[in-house]
């Protein structure tokens, strides 16, 4: 057997010794802790960076504590988990723990090899600490949905504000509402919204409990909201407290609430009576177009125009006019396109066309002042839960949508007859009785 030289033996011993001495070293390069305290518990979120030098390591579990002092082992929260880590790399972990009590102002303490699974070259750098900071709530308005009406003197304003709360639940607060010529600037104070409480990381819809009033026309102005209007909430960020929204232009909406055509015999005169409601804003003069048709909602033979004078917002105007019709109106429909010459810029054109029945009268004169009408229009209009009709006789009561489809049918009794409409979708409908067809709006 060949002997190794002395120098070779020394070299090999040195090499084996060097290899035997290369051990890993685990240490924490970064550590942050923050807590949301909602009695009786704290939610602690931690971020940690762990570095390995020297050699690769297998599984290890850093132990996490809450302590009153930096570097001291306190209340055990739990373990982190690292399956393996290569030498000279940094592993980052984010985790949330629950702690009974208020952790704000205490220390987050981590012992990196919490279960002594790794033989290290240096155990003195195994523990790191960080002060646990408070996570404060953050309120911000994500959107504002305002509406208003103007009566020529003052504007009545209603709004829905959508408010997001980040980080931490809060109690009562009062957003302050202003109207301004410019976005983001406080103008005339309108009032407060009221929020009783708000859960963290949710959006709350808040509406004004009573209408806001502004002396003047609100068109072109801005609604400005300072979300914590009375400084009731200690927030993490005050820079996002103010939000603005341009008030939309208010356009009128014309629609007929009742429509009937009256005649005495086939051929000759057909008298039309229509009640037209102007919602939202004043309108100038306009001319409804009148047709007679075999089908409700469709234009048939053009009879002529009616003339409507200027009309104040949220009022009803009644028009009556006689037309020459050489035919038999029985079973046909009077159809009116309210803004017959496109004179009014409206917010809603879908409810412009209304249909009504033709009714035979035994005695009838064609002057506007002598037309006999025995029933009041449908009321209330608009309606939410039910409509009422004053019926002079027992009569079928049929409700149609704008496409002419039957959506409800009842057997009406003489007198004041109520119809439940709570199951209908919001929109415009016709209600037909033996004496005519009237239009109403379901809110």
- Residue 429's pLDDT is 82
Residues 276, 310 within the same domain: yes
Q: Please identify, among 134, 166, 197, the residue that sits at the C-terminal boundary of a domain.
A: 134
Into how many domains does the chain fold? 3
Residues 386, 436 within the same domain: yes
Residues 194, 79 within the same domain: no
CB neighbour list of residue 379: distance below 8 Å, 6 or more residues apart = 387, 388
- Residue 402's pLDDT is 64
Which residue in 278, 273, 275 sits closest to 315, CA to CA?
Answer: 278
329 burial type by CB count under 10 A (0-12 exposed, 13-18 middle, 19+ buried): buried
Q: Please identify, among 134, 169, 202, the residue that sits at the C-terminal boundary of a domain.
A: 134
- Residue 368's pLDDT is 32
Residues 117, 185 within the same domain: no
- Residue 185's pLDDT is 95
The residue range of the domain holding 30 is: 24-134
Q: Can you give the pLDDT of all 443 residues of the chain as single tens digits? A: 455 566 566 555 555 554 556 899 999 999 999 999 988 999 999 999 999 999 999 999 999 999 999 999 999 999 999 999 999 999 999 999 999 999 999 999 999 999 999 999 999 999 999 999 999 999 999 999 998 888 778 899 999 999 999 999 999 999 999 999 999 999 999 999 999 999 999 999 999 989 999 999 898 999 999 999 999 999 999 999 999 999 987 788 899 988 888 887 766 788 999 999 998 788 999 999 999 998 888 899 999 999 999 998 889 999 999 998 888 888 889 999 999 999 988 878 888 888 887 777 643 333 333 233 334 578 888 888 899 988 888 888 888 776 667 788 888 888 888 999 988 888 778 787 877 677 788 88
Residue 123 lies in a domain: yes
Q: Please identify, among 95, 118, 134, the residue that sits at the C-terminal boundary of a domain.
A: 134
Please tell me the pTM assigned to this model: 0.56
Residue 9 lies in a domain: no
Residues 259, 391 within the same domain: yes
Residues 212, 324 within the same domain: no
- Residue 8's pLDDT is 61
Residues 399, 307 within the same domain: yes
Residue 2 lies in a domain: no
Q: What CA–CA distance (Å, rounded) separates 346 from 339?
A: 9
Residues 281, 407 within the same domain: yes
Q: What CA–CA distance (Å, rounded) separates 361 from 262?
A: 7
Residues 289, 416 within the same domain: yes
Residues 276, 422 within the same domain: yes
Q: Read off the CATH number of the domain in which 35 is found.
A: 2.60.40.10
Residues 270, 130 within the same domain: no
């Amino acid at each position: 057997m060949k002997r190794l030289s002395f120098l070779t033996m020394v070299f090999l011993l040195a090499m084996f010794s060097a290899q035997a001495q290369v051990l890993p070293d685990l240490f924490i390069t970064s550590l942050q802790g923050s807590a949301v305290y909602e009695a009786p518990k704290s939610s602690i979120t931690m971020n940690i960076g762990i570095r390995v030098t020297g050699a690769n390591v297998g599984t290890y579990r850093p132990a996490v504590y809450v302590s009153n002092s930096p570097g001291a082992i306190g209340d055990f929260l739990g373990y982190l988990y690292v399956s393996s880590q290569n030498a000279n790399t940094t592993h980052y972990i984010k985790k949330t723990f629950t702690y009974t009590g208020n952790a704000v102002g205490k220390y987050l303490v981590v012992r990196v090899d919490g279960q002594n699974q790794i033989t290290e070259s240096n155990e003195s750098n195994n523990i790191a600490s960080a002060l646990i900071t408070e996570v404060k709530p953050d309120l911000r308005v994500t959107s504002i949905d305002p509406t208003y009406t103007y009566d020529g003197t003052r504007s009545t304003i209603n709004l829905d504000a959508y408010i997001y709360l980040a980080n931490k639940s809060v109690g009562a607060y009062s957003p302050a509402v202003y109207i301004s010529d410019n976005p983001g600037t406080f103008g005339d104070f309108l009032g407060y919204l009221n929020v009783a409480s708000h859960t963290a990381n949710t959006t709350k819809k808040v509406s004004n409990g009573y209408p806001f009033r502004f002396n003047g026309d609100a068109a072109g102005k801005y609604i400005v909201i300072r979300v914590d209007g009375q400084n009731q909430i200690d927030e993490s960020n005050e820079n996002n407290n103010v939000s603005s929204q341009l008030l939309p232009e208010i356009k009128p909406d014309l629609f007929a609430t009742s429509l009937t055509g009256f005649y005495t015999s086939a051929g000759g005169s057909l008298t039309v009576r229509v009640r037209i409601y102007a919602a939202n804003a004043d309108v100038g003069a306009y001319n409804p177009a009148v047709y007679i048709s075999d089908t409700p909602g469709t234009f048939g033979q053009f009879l002529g125009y009616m003339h409507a004078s200027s009309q104040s917002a949220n009022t009803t105007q009644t028009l009556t006019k006689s037309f020459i019709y050489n035919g038999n109106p029985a079973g046909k429909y009077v159809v009116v396109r309210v803004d017959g010459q496109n004179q009014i810029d409206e917010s809603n054109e879908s409810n412009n066309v209304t249909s009504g029945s033709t009714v035979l009268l035994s005695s009838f004169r064609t002057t506007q002042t002598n037309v006999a009408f025995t029933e009041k229009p449908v009321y209330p209009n608009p309606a939410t839960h039910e409509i009422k009709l004053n019926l002079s006789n027992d009569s079928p009561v049929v409700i149609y949508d704008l496409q002419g489809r039957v959506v409800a049918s009842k057997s009406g009794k003489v007198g004041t007859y109520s119809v439940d409409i709570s199951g209908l979708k919001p929109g415009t409908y016709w209600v037909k009785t033996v004496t005519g067809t009237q239009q109403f709006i379901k809110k």
